[in-house]
């Protein structure tokens, strides 16, 4: 007979509220990596988890963990959590929700059911957004081995402070960090790297509008989309807008417009979950009475299946090439980002659906178009993600909102999964 | 029996070269209104024309005239010339060529044929480009009555210097200027205003590629195109590029791309001499992973026939409206400039063609897509324009170039027309 899971949502909401107070001035929440606000939140979390009886430890890059030891002597850790950094003027749910829910779940489980069979850990990753330094997933990336600390000296924030300098200012490169000595010895392993993670489960707001539109409570994430980003440069000839007949023009913007129409048409034909966006576009010289001589724009293309993502990008490049060559324009596609799709574990997805059915919650299978820490774990161990609705699909904004009921639903699905994984004999 | 016209091209080329020396530092020629460079050129021209026996006078805004009095006591003035200001980093031919040729022609005519029957005058307009202050045709506009001096106090350059302050710094608002007193007395007439101009003839580089492509020597301008300019604002919804499915987007840039394709297609269908250009375009927020929430772009549309210009703009606005409404985008078209097409005088065009035939020069009838001082005179008196080829159609650039032979051909056509108008009994 399954126990009824009723994790205390009010405790989680209070924790979320307390975390939101650690913010730089301005609208919403601004908690950038290795800033005083971030340090404050990180220390607050350590104290909170310790107070709740979790075994707190940190690592060399500032990730915080809260451990609930399992009674089985061996076996890998079931990790659950998210990140505590935010974008500039972000909301209080993105990342923090997954951390607050994980803390609440572990405390509830230990209080209600005693120690688990398998060890459970909360992870509060130091950084996911890449909002201060031009790299993302610094926290989970150091845990999973994507990073080995080498970036710390070469990457700087807009003020020119390197990642290493920012870490030192937080007391992170001393007292336990082995990054310096590892680098000088030529080893690539980092003290944050862990090989004992057996599963990863992340609860997060959807940041999209699908759950709200379909009035469903829970999103069972099937995969996190892979991304390809490009900077596209289209070169024509700048010329006088009054004296150059239409038939003699090599208008870089007119060519770009045709490419963007082709982009939208191809994306519609490819169908969901493919999304394709040109988000930034610059016209040179950008003068009302001069025919554009050059246009640069960005492409952001995402799909949950690697092969389809690749074939879409290849077909698009061919279509752009045809348009450019027919118009006598020069074309350059510079790849700027490539991440692989990260499929979530199907057994965990099945368990989540079963839990939703048992709890009487509506759910949908969906692809995450946004990136998450879970994509770093998916190639290493079974990983799962649970989404709850975002009002109007808004995130990365002070307007970000999910109702207490929606947040509570996600908490209880997460808690039930952790119970199943850590308490039921496999 | 017609006299052979052989105006001295070398004198004109020397004068062009001397004028080009009055430039701010940097590539090409930079001679902005009321700057020391401009003042230098203006005084140099006065001395040069006086030295050539022309009666020099100036007006309150800094236009310079060189007069060759006719022997017929009455009758209006035949004015010929162009402007002496340039764009930033412009060439040495745009404007200056028409002035240097006019000075050379009048000197040659007086030396060769004595005083004319009708009075001839060179005009070196103080400004046509609008490169320092955000208004164009300040020189010819004050002569023809488009401006009455009122703009002088309200218009400022990028450094915040008003047109009036810049004029005072050149000594122009004292010693002859009546702008201040006129403004205070509420009169709209300006001391630069002239009612004695009977004809206006302007020689200019084409600034386009048609003459070069057709290997013709002379362009006989039939009309100066009218212009409509708009700022177009397209509003959609900014959203996450990863989590927003294609079918739920209101992408302002995708909508704009469809509009720009429609613009190009409509312009091709309308045919020459219609030209339509989107020269400036801005995307907001302009972030690679955010769907564009807003786009602003400029439209520059030109045609030599007012009715066709109007109907094209009206059809375009309707097409844009259909695209916006189908996509759920908000659309605003803000008119920012409207000038009427200026037809050149057909009798003068005929005379120019006759002269080309007599001189054995190839020519074509053409529309000027660029604006010129002549368009200010066309509604007031018979006006004509003569074009010579621009290499590769380039102007407003240090690369601007027309060969000595091409410049000499234009000079001789201008001189022959002035001879016919001022020396032959009508």
Question: Can you say whether the dihedral through the CA atoms of B216, B218, B221, B224 is positive or negative?
Answer: positive
pLDDT given for residue A186 in this prediction:
35
- Test A243 with B207 for CB contact under 8 angstroms: yes
Task: Quickly count: other Cβ atoms within 10 Å of residue B25's Cβ.
Answer: 6
Q: Which two tokens stand for residue A106?
A: 């572990």
Among A236-240, A355-359, B177-181, B283-287, which stretch is predicted with the lowest mean pLDDT? Answer: B177-181
Residue B290 bridge partners (DSSP) = B240
pLDDT given for residue B426 in this prediction:
64
pLDDT given for residue A278 in this prediction:
97
- Test B242 with A275 for CB contact under 8 angstroms: yes
- Test B272 with A247 for CB contact under 8 angstroms: yes
Looking at per-residue pLDDT, the higher value among B338 and A2 belongs to B338
For A188, list phi and psi in degrees, rounded to 5: -100, -15
pLDDT given for residue A426 in this prediction:
64
- B276 to chain A: which residues are within 8 Å by CB? 246
d(CA A177, CA A236): 53
d(CA B210, CA B389): 8
Whole-number percent of chain A with pLDDT over 90: 85
CATH of A9-224+341-423, one of 3.20.20.10, 3.20.20.70, 3.40.630.10, 1.10.3720.10: 3.40.630.10
d(CA B332, CA B391): 39
d(CA B35, CA B15): 20
For chain A, the structural domain boundaries read 9-224+341-423, 226-339
Q: Which two tokens stand for residue B109?
A: 């005519």
Q: Give yes or no for B35 touching A (CB within 8 A).
A: no
Give chain B's end-to-end CA distance (angstroms, integer). 16
d(CA B79, CA B342): 17
pLDDT at residue A190 is higher than 70:
no
pLDDT given for residue B179 in this prediction:
36
Split at pLDDT 50, 70, 90, the class of A134 is: confident
Q: How does pLDDT run across A176-189, given as a tens digit for each residue?
A: 333 333 334 333 34
Number of A to B CB contacts under 8 A, please give it: 200
Which B residues 195-224 touch A at CB under 8 Å?
206-210, 213
Out of A248, A274, A371, name the one closest to residue B209 (CB). A248
Q: Do A163 and A152 form a contact (C-beta atoms < 8 A)?
A: yes
Q: Give yes or no for B237 touching A (CB within 8 A).
A: no
pLDDT given for residue B201 in this prediction:
98
- B281 to chain A: which residues are within 8 Å by CB? 253, 281, 283, 286, 292
Does the annotation list B364 as a binding residue? no
Task: Quickly count: other Cβ atoms within 10 Å of residue A402's Cβ.
Answer: 24
- Test A286 with B286 for CB contact under 8 angstroms: no
How far from A353 is each of A179, A208, A367, B206, B350, CA to CA, in Å?
42, 20, 15, 73, 86
Distance from CA of B271 to the nearest CA of A (A): 8
| A357 CB-contact burial (10 Å; exposed 0-12 / middle 13-18 / buried 19+) | exposed
- A294 to chain B: which residues are within 8 Å by CB? none
Chain A residue whose CA is closest to B225: A242
pLDDT at residue A229 is higher than 70:
yes
Q: Which CATH architecture describes the domain A226-339?
A: 2-Layer Sandwich (3.30)
Q: Give yes or no for B330 touching A (CB within 8 A).
A: no
Q: Give yes or no for B283 touching A (CB within 8 A).
A: yes
Angle (nearest 5°) at CA B317 between B314 and B322: 130
pLDDT given for residue A177 in this prediction:
34
Q: Give yes or no for A169 touching B (CB within 8 A).
A: no
pLDDT given for residue B177 in this prediction:
35
- Test A246 with B207 for CB contact under 8 angstroms: no
| A174 CB-contact burial (10 Å; exposed 0-12 / middle 13-18 / buried 19+) | exposed
Task: Quickly count: other Cβ atoms within 10 Å of residue A46's Cβ.
Answer: 18
pLDDT given for residue A74 in this prediction:
75
**Mean of all residue pLDDT scores within chain A:** 93
d(CA B42, CA B48): 10
- Test A279 with B267 for CB contact under 8 angstroms: no
User: Which residues lie closer than 8 Å to B344 by C-beta, 6 or more apart?
Assistant: B221, B222, B223, B224, B374, B378, B383, B384, B385
Distance from CA of B225 to the nearest CA of A (A): 8
Out of A274, A277, A289, name the one closest to residue B279 (CB). A289
Q: How does pLDDT run across A12-41, given as a tens digit for each residue?
A: 999 999 999 999 999 999 999 999 999 999
Q: Do B385 and B374 form a contact (C-beta atoms < 8 A)?
A: yes
Q: Which two tokens stand for residue A340?
A: 């692989």
The gap from C-alpha B60 to its chain's centroid, in whole angstroms, comes to 21
- Test B281 with A281 for CB contact under 8 angstroms: yes
The gap from C-alpha B424 to its chain's centroid, in whole angstroms, comes to 30
Question: pLDDT truncated to tens, each residue of chain B (426 aa)?
Answer: 678 999 999 999 999 999 999 999 999 999 999 999 999 999 999 999 999 999 999 999 999 999 999 998 778 999 999 999 999 999 999 999 999 999 999 999 999 999 999 999 999 999 999 889 988 899 999 999 998 777 788 889 989 999 999 999 998 863 333 333 334 443 334 579 999 999 999 999 999 999 999 999 999 999 999 999 999 999 999 989 999 999 999 999 999 999 999 999 999 999 999 999 999 999 999 989 899 999 999 999 999 999 999 999 999 999 999 999 999 999 999 998 899 999 999 999 999 999 999 999 999 999 999 999 999 999 999 999 999 999 999 998 999 999 999 999 999 999 999 999 999 976
């Amino acid at each position: 007979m399954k126990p009824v899971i009723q994790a205390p949502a009010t405790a989680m909401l209070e924790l979320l509220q307390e975390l939101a107070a650690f913010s730089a001035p301005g609208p919403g929440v601004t908690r950038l990596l290795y800033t005083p606000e971030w340090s404050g939140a990180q220390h607050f979390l350590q104290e909170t988890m310790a107070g709740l009886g979790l075994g707190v430890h940190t690592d060399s890059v500032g990730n915080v963990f809260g451990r609930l030891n399992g009674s089985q002597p061996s076996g890998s850790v079931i990790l659950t959590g998210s990140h505590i950094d935010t974008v500039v003027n972000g909301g209080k749910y993105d990342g923090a929700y997954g951390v607050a829910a994980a803390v609440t779940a572990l405390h509830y489980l230990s209080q209600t059911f005693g120690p688990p069979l398998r060890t459970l850990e909360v992870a509060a990753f130091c950084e996911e957004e890449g909002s201060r330094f031009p790299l993302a997933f610094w926290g989970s990336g150091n845990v999973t081995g994507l990073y080995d600390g080498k970036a710390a000296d070469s990457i700087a924030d807009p003020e020119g402070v390197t990642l290493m300098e920012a870490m030192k200012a937080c007391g992170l490169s001393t007292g336990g960090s082995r990054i310096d000595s590892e680098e000088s010895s030529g080893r690539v392993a980092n003290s944050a790297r862990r090989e004992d993670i057996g599963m990863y489960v992340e609860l997060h707001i959807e940041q999209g509008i699908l759950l709200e539109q379909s009035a469903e409570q829970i999103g069972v994430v099937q995969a996190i989309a892979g991304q390809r980003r490009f900077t596209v440069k289209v070169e024509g000839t700048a010329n006088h807008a009054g004296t150059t007949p239409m038939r003699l023009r090599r208008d870089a913007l007119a060519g770009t417009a045709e490419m963007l129409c082709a982009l939208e048409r191809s994306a519609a034909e490819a169908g969901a979950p493919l999304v394709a966006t040109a988000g930034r576009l610059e016209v040179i010289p950008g003068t009302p009475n001069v025919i554009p001589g050059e246009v640069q724009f960005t492409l952001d293309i995402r799909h949950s299946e690697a092969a389809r993502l690749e074939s879409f990008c290849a077909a698009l490049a061919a279509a752009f090439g045809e348009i450019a060559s027919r118009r006598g324009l020069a074309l350059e596609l510079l790849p700027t980002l490539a991440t692989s799709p990260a499929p979530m574990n199907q057994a965990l997805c099945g368990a989540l659906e079963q839990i939703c059915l048992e709890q009487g919650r509506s759910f949908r299978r969906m692809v995450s178009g946004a990136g998450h820490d879970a994509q770093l774990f998916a190639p290493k161990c079974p990983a799962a993600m649970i989404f709850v609705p975002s009002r109007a699909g808004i995130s990365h904004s002070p307007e970000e909102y999910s109702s207490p009921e929606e947040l509570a639903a996600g908490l209880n699905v997460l808690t039930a999964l952790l119970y199943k994984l850590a308490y039921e004999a496999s």
